[in-house]
Amino acid sequence: MVGGLNSDLGATRVFAGGPAVSRAWDHDEAGLFVEELFAHHHGEIYAYLIRMLRDPELAADLTQDAFVKAYRAYDSLEKPENARAWLYQIAHRVALDHIRRGKIVRFLPWTGESRGASPSAEHLVMETRLSGDLQRALERIPERQRAALLLAELHDLTGIELASALGVSHVAARALLTRARESLRQALAVEREAEAEPRVTAASSDDR
Amino acid sequence: MSLLGGRGGRSDDWKTQHLRAQARAAERLDAPLYPEEASWLDDHLAGCSECAQVEADYATQRLELRALGERTPQPPRDLWARTAVAIEQEARHRSLGLRDRTRRSVLAPYALLAGALVVAVVVGTLTSSQRPSTVTATPSASAQIALATPAASASPTPLNVAHKEVDFLSADRNGQFHLYTTKVSQVCPKEVGTCATTEPSEVKSIGPLSSPETVFGQGDAPLVVLGNGKDGTSVFAVALPDKTESPTLTPEPTTEPPATPVVTASPSPTTTPATETPPPSSAPTTPSPTPPVETASPSVAPSGSPLTTGAIESARGVEVVDTTAAYAPDGSAFAFTARPSNGSHGPDIYLWKVGQAEATPITTDHRSVFGSWAGHTIVGSKVVTSGDGKTNEPAAFVISPDRTKVGLPQTGLAWRPAVEPNEGSAVYWSGTLERTADGLGWRTVAGRLVLGRWSVGSDTTAGPSATPLSGNQTMERGETTIAEGPLADWDARWDETGTRLAVWIADAADPTAGKLSLYVVDPFDGRIDLTSPPLSSEPALAGFSISNGRLAWAAPAGTTDKTSRVRILAWTNDGFGQVESAPGDVLLVR
């Protein structure tokens, strides 16, 4: 049960003196809690989601969802010092839920050309963009591995935080991260090989 | 700190020692190994080039991953407002289901403010060949804009979007301009055509203006109107948009209101009061028509005297140069490029601070032009002529509004850089320049309009110093060509997130009209895909607006329409949709 946030959150105003004992869910307290949480962490949560999903609008929507869920589940946070990892855990689940839904029901929004037959213009742009091979490789690896890498390397979560965010044990989180590094290495090799092929072909043609 | 290489990874657990080494190499990036395991790994790597390469790959991979973090995506400005509304709705739901609540929600103020976080909008200019002063009134008589085109007979499925606002001016018969704010909450998929109509929710009269050409807005800041003065020179005027501040500006009530500007939108607008965007809570800052203070610029004769009702003239005797001008992100000041109308010298960057009576030049070399704002500083560019006088090349610089800090962001060619909000990339002319025929300005010669990486690089507090390019500029900045030169004019603008980029390229024959494109910017590497932009080379008049999930522009008169239209492209993660006004003579606020 929430008794107060860690000092990093600057939430002493909200929870100063709050007893670390279980209490009933309180709307005002939950609201202030999420407000403080948002003020300190919305940027990194948004960044995480945009890195996972590569869609700014979707990331914004899911960031909003994550904080609403945090509000709803406010009384499930047992230790205030875990607030950041707890929030990442919520955002992570929100992202995975979205990805899983997308695998079941593929949304086919307007493309400007043929409704219902093509992916969205946004999606097309994302798919065909001249993005780096690293981004493409990241998209090739399993979502949980991608999440582990992003959280560890770009969001600086500690091992314990990473485990909490991913909802697994510390050992499992490390193992996941190790597998993710190898998956990404292989995916990168594939991407770079594919990228090099046309050049090789062109060079061979030139040689003739 | 935990140690790895123990449980679950005993030396005899592995199918091969190479797999063991590669796993340990990955693990060692995250935490130290047990000493004996670390020692074993080092010995193995020393004798196994393949595993050593894997370890090197992991290290490189880490560097590349962390490099992605250097570009931090910026969340939308209204994210908290949206979230607060959602939480408030959740709270109401809970309170109904759980208990009766009597206390007022702590989030209520945010919910009320949610819709108020509106970025002032839109596009500017009239039909390419028809300025307001010369355009023949449309058959709609006093109507600023004719009634909407009929709604499509098909039953469309509109795309819901967060409230988008578009502001525009339109003149009545008496020369009185009215400011309209149109709120759009739904847009139509392209193949559906028009859906229905919605009316502007706010109308404010801003008094007669002298031949306005383009208007700029920013939140609650006064409108900045660029137009022609009585002496035939361009002027820089400020309108007072809030009728509550000036009762004389309140439009006369009419029994038969002019045909209301209409924007096609939803088939059945169902905007409820709960989701209506409330007016800004704070009163707009209005300029004080105090006597002008002395300015160091001999080329500007500022006047604090009222130009028209509701406006003050902030600069006269100057000609505004090119289409690039903008409010600071916080709306505190407006920057533009101008030169004396008497032709005494070339252009400088001017700044008008909200509340002041005059605009003043912040450069004095008479060869500098405004590019964009980068936070609270101004990014400009100037022309550097080679020693033999044969070539003129652009160089960018950063200057603070008070002129106390000046620095060179980087060497290389960069003319009129439009820097994205995160300052990680910019659109600029990479090429050479030459003097215009009158010898006062500059025009592009050989080169390209590009998107490239951008770095402020130098310490702007330490005076001019540059981050040099160590190699080929195109390669080093990762430049992507948007258009090949020479270009008559262009305007590049970013949305607040830096993930949408709109670029307008002027037609060579008529630089008041051109083509507008919208690009999606990869949040990871800042690059754009030119092959499938959401909006590609759409005919548009000079001046457009991009913010808050929508792009608005004025479509030029067609072969059948004699007037222009406002068009709005809005997007969500569900896709893109658009709405379009009925034809009319409009002056969009950008």
Segment (H or E) for B308? strand B306-308
pLDDT above 90 as % of chain A: 26
pLDDT for res B165: 73
Burial category of B332 from C-beta neighbours within 10 Å (exposed 0-12, middle 13-18, buried 19 and up): middle
Least confident of A23-27, A45-49, B257-261, B511-515: B257-261
pLDDT for res B201: 53
Report the chain B residue with the minimal C-alpha distance to residue A189. Answer: B57
Look at residues B281, B327, B285, B268 and name the one whose alpha carbon lies nearest to residue B114. B281
Q: What pLDDT band is residue B41 in, cutting at 50, 70 and 90?
A: very high
Which amino acid is located at B413 in the chain? L
In whole angstroms, what is the distance from residue A170 CA to residue A158 CA? 10
pLDDT above 70 as % of chain B: 58
**Could you give phi then psi for residue B132, rounded to 5 degrees?**
-55, -35
- Is residue B224's pLDDT more than 70? yes
Q: DSSP class of residue A88?
A: H
B90·A122 Cβ contact <8 A: no
Tell whether B276 is within 8 A of chain A (Cβ): no
Q: Where is mean pLDDT largest: B196-210, B234-248, B490-504?
A: B490-504
Number of cross-chain residue pairs from A and B with Cβ atoms under 8 Å apart = 185
Mean pLDDT of A189-205: 66
Q: What is the pLDDT of residues B404-418, one digit of tens each?
A: 767 776 667 889 999
Mean pLDDT of B172-197: 64
Beta bridge partners of B144: none
**Could you give phi then psi for residue A42, rounded to 5 degrees?**
-65, -35
Mean pLDDT of A111-130: 36
A 29-48 residues inside an 8 A Cβ radius of B: 31-32, 34-35, 38, 42-43, 46-47
In whole angstroms, what is the distance from residue B484 CA to residue B468 CA? 25
B 407-466 residues inside an 8 A Cβ radius of A: none
pLDDT for res B88: 84
Q: Measure CB to CB from residue B576 to each of A25, A72, A110 and give the nearest one.
A: A110
B190: chain A residues, CB-CB within 8 Å: 110, 112
What is the distance in angstroms between the CA of the first residue and the CA of the last residue of chain B? 54
B576·A122 Cβ contact <8 A: yes
B573·A57 Cβ contact <8 A: yes
Higher pLDDT, residue A1 or A173: A173
Q: Measure CB to CB from residue A57 to each of B86, B189, B571 and give the nearest one.
A: B571
Look at residues B30, B67, B35, B7 and name the one whose alpha carbon lies nearest to residue A178. B30
**DSSP per-residue letters across B529-553:** -SSS-SEEEEEEES-EEEETTEEEE
At B151, list the tokens: 């709604």
Tell whether A129 is within 8 A of chain B (Cβ): yes
Please name the residue that has the structure tokens 């060497």. B411
Q: What is the pLDDT of residues B561-581, one digit of tens each?
A: 566 677 888 887 667 777 766
- Is residue B548's pLDDT more than 80? no
B103: chain A residues, CB-CB within 8 Å: 27-28
A31·B576 Cβ contact <8 A: no
pLDDT above 90 as % of chain B: 14
A122·B520 Cβ contact <8 A: yes
In whole angstroms, what is the distance from residue B455 CA to residue B424 CA? 6
Least confident of A51-60, B143-152, B359-368, B572-581: B143-152
Which amino acid is located at A19 in the chain? P
In whole angstroms, what is the distance from residue A44 CA to residue A33 CA? 17
pLDDT for res A118: 34
Find the length of chain A: 208
For B562-586, the three-class secondary structure string (H helix, E strand, C coil) is CCEEEEEEEEECCEEEEEEECCECC
Q: How far is CA B160 from the centre of its chain?
A: 23
Mean pLDDT of B117-135: 28
A128·B65 Cβ contact <8 A: no
Please name the residue that has the structure tokens 């004769």. B301
At B588, list the tokens: 């969009």
pLDDT for res B505: 94
- Is residue A193's pLDDT more than 60? yes
In whole angstroms, what is the distance from residue B451 CA to residue B417 CA? 9
Quote the minimal CA–CA distance from A20 to chain B in Å.
22
- Is residue A117's pLDDT more than 50? no
In whole angstroms, what is the distance from residue A170 CA to residue A180 CA? 15
In whole angstroms, what is the distance from residue B95 CA to residue A31 CA? 13
Give residues with Cβ within 8 angstroms of B345, minimum separation 6.
B299, B339, B366, B440
Report the chain B residue with the minimal C-alpha distance to residue A57. Answer: B573
**DSSP per-residue letters across B372-430:** EEETTEEEEEEEEE-TTS--EEEEEEEE-TTS--EE---SS--EEEEE-TTSSEEEEEE
Tell whether A19 is within 8 A of chain B (Cβ): no
pLDDT for res B563: 64
Please enumerate, as own/partner, the contacts of B100-109 that have beta carbons within 8 Å and a separation of 24 or more: B101/A27, B103/A27, B103/A28, B105/A27, B105/A28, B105/A31, B106/A28, B106/A31, B106/A32, B106/A35, B107/A31, B107/A35
Do β-strands B480-484 and B442-453 pair in parallel, antiparallel, or remain unpaired? Answer: antiparallel
pLDDT for res A104: 41
A124: chain B residues, CB-CB within 8 Å: 532
Beta bridge partners of B337: B349
In whole angstroms, what is the distance from residue B587 CA to residue B336 CA? 19
CB contact at 8 A, B144 and B171: yes
Please name the residue that has the structure tokens 């929030």. A87
pLDDT for res B511: 81
Q: Measure CB to CB from residue B103 to each of A28, A55, A61 and give the nearest one.
A: A28
A 155-174 residues inside an 8 A Cβ radius of B: 159, 170-171, 174
B61: chain A residues, CB-CB within 8 Å: 181, 184-185, 188
pLDDT for res B296: 37
Distances (CA, A) of A124 to A54, A127, B317, B475, B537: 12, 5, 50, 26, 18
Segment (H or E) for B79? helix B79-98
| Farthest CA pair distance, chain A | 80
Tell whether A122 is within 8 A of chain B (Cβ): yes
Q: Measure CB to CB from residue B30 to each of A32, A38, A152 and give the nearest one.
A: A152
Mean pLDDT rounded to a whole number for chain B: 68
- Is residue B87's pLDDT more than 70? yes
Look at residues B486, B523, B478 and name the one whose alpha carbon lies nearest to residue B501. B523
Give the orientation angle of helix B79-98 with respect to helix A56-72, to 10 degrees.
30
Q: What pLDDT band is residue B487 in, cutting at 50, 70 and 90?
A: very high
Where do the H-state alpha helices sit in chain A?
Answer: 12-15, 27-53, 56-72, 83-104, 121-128, 133-140, 143-149, 159-166, 170-207
B65 sits in the region (left: phi over 0; alpha: psi -120 to 50; else beta) called alpha
pLDDT for res B353: 86
- Is residue B284's pLDDT more than 60? no
pLDDT for res B118: 27
Mean pLDDT of B477-491: 90
- Is residue B121's pLDDT more than 50? no
Q: DSSP class of residue B33?
A: B
B534·A185 Cβ contact <8 A: no
pLDDT for res B175: 62
B 364-403 residues inside an 8 A Cβ radius of A: none
Q: Measure CB to CB from residue B68 to each of A71, A154, A159 and give the nearest one.
A: A154
CA angle (A99, A105, A110) in 5-degree steps: 95
- Is residue B145's pLDDT more than 80? no
- Is residue A144's pLDDT more than 60? yes
The beta strands (E) that lie in B240-279 are given as: 263-265
pLDDT for res B444: 92
Least confident of B31-45, B200-214, B416-430: B200-214
CB contact at 8 A, B544 and B551: yes
Give the orientation angle of helix A83-104 with respect to helix A27-53, to 10 degrees.
60
Beta bridge partners of B515: B505, B539
Beta bridge partners of B441: none
pLDDT for res A101: 64
B520: chain A residues, CB-CB within 8 Å: 122, 125-126, 129
ipTM associated with this complex = 0.73
Mean pLDDT of B233-243: 54
Higher pLDDT, residue B140 or B52: B52
Beta bridge partners of B426: B419, B452
Q: DSSP class of residue B260?
A: P
Distances (CA, A) of B293 to A144, B313, B358: 63, 14, 8
A58: chain B residues, CB-CB within 8 Å: 573
Asked if omega into B73 is within 30° of 0 (cis), the reply is: no
B547: chain A residues, CB-CB within 8 Å: none
B23·A188 Cβ contact <8 A: no
B 19-48 residues inside an 8 A Cβ radius of A: 22-23, 26-27, 29-31
pLDDT for res B410: 67
pLDDT for res A6: 36
Give residues with Cβ within 8 angstroms of A101, minimum separation 6.
none
Q: What pLDDT band is residue B139 in, cutting at 50, 70 and 90?
A: very low
In whole angstroms, what is the distance from residue B588 CA to residue B267 CA? 24
Q: What pLDDT band is residue B439 in, cutting at 50, 70 and 90?
A: confident
CB contact at 8 A, B167 and B138: no
Look at residues B224, B530, B545 and name the one whose alpha carbon lies nearest to residue B354. B224
pLDDT for res B256: 34
pLDDT for res B389: 78
B 526-565 residues inside an 8 A Cβ radius of A: 527-529, 531-534, 549
Q: What pLDDT band is residue A100 in, cutting at 50, 70 and 90?
A: confident
Q: DSSP class of residue B486?
A: -
Q: Where is mean pLDDT largest: B263-277, B283-297, B526-540?
A: B526-540
Distances (CA, A) of A199 to A128, A196, B475: 19, 5, 18
Least confident of B264-273, B508-517, B542-551: B264-273
Q: What is the pLDDT of residues B313-368, one digit of tens each?
A: 666 677 778 778 899 988 888 998 888 877 888 889 999 888 777 788 899 888 89
Mean pLDDT of B145-168: 51
Tell whether A133 is within 8 A of chain B (Cβ): no
Beta bridge partners of B589: B215
